[in-house]
Amino acid sequence: MTRKYIDCREYPSEMNCSVALAADSEKELLEAAVQHATTVHKHTDSPELRSQLKSLFHDGTPPVETPRRA
């Protein structure tokens, strides 16, 4: 099983969010990412948001150093 992560530091935002989330399953990571996106970034939970978030997942764990922005 490969750990998956998503890192807000890769994407510009007004709040300069530095949160990175990781999980052992894509399903678990998606639920955490949706909760973060809707609660912190005020996005609306939708199939489009979930699809977009899934496309931003990486294998492994988030780097310690700030990654390059998308």
Q: How many helices (H) and strands (E) does the chain have?
A: 2, 3
Asked, for residue 70, whether it belongs to a domain, the answer is: no
pTM of the predicted structure, to 2 decimals: 0.87
pLDDT average, residue stretch 1-24: 91
Given a cut of 90, whether residue 49 has pLDDT beyond it is yes
pLDDT average, residue stretch 11-27: 91
Which residue type occupies 31?
Answer: E
Number of domains in the chain: 1
Asked, for residue 16, whether it belongs to a domain, the answer is: yes
Asked, for residue 65, whether it belongs to a domain, the answer is: no
Residue range of the domain that includes 55: 4-59
Tens-place pLDDT, residues 59-70: 999 998 877 665
